[in-house]
C-alpha cells in the first residue's frame, strides 16, 4: 500500500465506478485500489480491455470497456454497473489528454477531441451516473491545477478543465436535493504514467511546491476517499490537492529547458 492508505472501512459496502483506469499504475487504478482497501465494491472502466481485465483479476473487482468520447459506451457502462452492483454510490472520472500545443497552432480537430474527452464526455458520464444513483452519492472529477493557473501551450486542456470544474458546480446544485454531492480534485504535476515525460523536469517544478515535493497518485486517492465517504459535507467545490502549487506558478519554458527536458512544446527552443 502507498502513503496514506488505510483499510479503515470508510467506504464499506459502497458501490463505485472509476472511469479512466485503463493504464497500469495510473491515477484511476490507484484510486480504485484505495477504494477497495476501504471496503468499496468497484467497477473500473477505460479503453484498454487487456489492462482492465488484468487489474480486475489482481484486485478482485469488476471491469467494463468504456470510451468517454462515445456516449453509447458511457450508457453501457451505466447499465453494466447496475447489473454488476445494483447501482452506483460513487462515480469517479479520471480520464484526460495532456495535449501540448500553442493556442494558435491547436487545430479544430484537436479542440473537438479535447472537448469530447474533457467536457462533453464528463457531462454524459455524470448524466449516466446520476441515473444509477438511487440513494444519493458522490461524483468526483479529477481536474487540474491548470484550471486555475496558466501553463505554457495547454490552451485547449486548460479551457476544458475549467469548463468541467463549472460542470461539477452545476451538477452539485442540480442534484443536491437527491443527496448527490459533486466535487473536483486539482492535482499539479503528479508522478503518474501520463506525466512520465515531465519527470525529468522535476527540479524546475519542485520549488513551486511549498510542501517541497511533487504529488503522487496516493495523495489524490486519499482525497478521493474523503470526498466519497459519508462524512464529507462538501459539494460543488474544487479541492486543490497539489502541495500548495496553486499558491505559486508554473515553471517557465527556460526553467524547464535548463533541466535538459525535451518536451514537445520546447521543440526548436535551442535550434
Of the pLDDT bands very low, low, confident and very high (cuts 50, 70, 90), residue 7 is low
The pLDDT of residue 92: 98
- The grid cell for 89 is 454510490
42 near 102, Cβ under 8 Å? no
The pLDDT of residue 270: 28
Of the pLDDT bands very low, low, confident and very high (cuts 50, 70, 90), residue 267 is very low
**Spatial distance between the Cα atoms of 158 and 91, rounded to a whole number of angstroms:** 23
Average the pLDDT over 170-179 and give the result. Answer: 98
Residue 15 has φ and ψ, to the nearest 5°, of -110, 115
**H or E element that contains 164:** helix 155-175
CATH classification (class only), 15-266: alpha beta
Residue 160 has φ and ψ, to the nearest 5°, of -75, -35
Average the pLDDT over 31-43 and give the result. Answer: 97
Structure confidence by residue, pLDDT tens digits, 182-225: 999 999 989 888 777 778 888 999 999 999 999 999 999 999 99
Structure confidence by residue, pLDDT tens digits, 69-115: 999 999 999 999 988 899 999 999 999 888 888 899 999 999 999 99
Give the start-to-end residue ranges of the domains of the chain.
15-266
How many CB atoms neighbour CB 20 within 10 A?
A: 25
Amino acid at each position: 500500500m502507498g502513503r496514506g492508505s488505510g483499510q479503515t472501512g470508510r467506504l464499506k459496502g459502497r458501490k463505485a465506478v472509476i472511469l479512466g483506469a485503463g493504464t497500469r499504475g495510473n491515477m484511476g487504478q490507484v484510486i480504485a485500489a484505495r477504494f477497495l482497501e476501504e471496503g468499496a465494491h468497484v467497477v473500473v472502466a477505460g479503453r484498454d480491455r487487456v489492462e482492465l481485465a488484468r487489474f480486475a483479476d489482481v484486485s478482485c473487482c469488476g471491469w467494463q470497456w468504456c470510451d468517454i468520447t462515445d456516449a453509447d459506451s458511457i450508457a453501457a457502462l451505466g447499465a453494466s454497473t447496475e447489473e454488476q452492483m445494483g447501482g452506483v454510490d460513487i462515480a469517479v472520472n479520471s480520464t484526460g489528454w495532456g495535449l501540448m500545443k500553442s493556442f494558435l497552432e491547436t487545430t479544430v480537430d484537436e479542440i473537438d477531441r479535447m472537448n469530447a474527452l474533457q467536457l462533453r464526455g464528463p457531462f454524459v458520464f455524470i448524466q449516466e451516473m446520476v441515473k444509477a444513483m438511487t440513494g444519493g452519492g458522490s461524483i468526483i472529477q479529477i481536474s487540474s491545477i491548470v484550471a486555475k493557473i496558466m501553463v505554457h501551450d495547454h490552451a485547449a486542456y486548460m479551457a476544458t478543465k475549467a469548463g468541467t470544474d463549472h460542470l461539477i458546480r452545476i451538477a452539485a446544485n442540480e442534484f443536491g436535493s437527491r443527496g448527490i454531492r459533486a466535487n473536483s480534485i486539482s492535482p499539479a504535476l503528479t508522478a503518474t504514467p501520463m506525466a512520465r515525460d515531465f519527470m525529468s523536469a522535476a527540479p524546475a517544478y519542485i520549488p513551486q511546491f511549498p510542501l517541497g515535493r511533487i504529488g503522487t497518485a496516493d495523495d489524490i486517492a486519499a482525497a478521493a476517499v474523503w470526498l466519497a465517504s459519508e462524512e464529507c459535507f462538501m459539494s460543488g467545490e474544487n479541492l486543490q490537492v497539489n502541495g500548495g502549487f496553486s499558491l505559486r506558478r508554473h515553471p517557465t519554458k527556460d526553467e524547464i529547458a535548463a533541466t535538459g527536458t525535451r518536451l514537445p512544446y520546447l521543440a526548436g527552443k535551442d535550434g
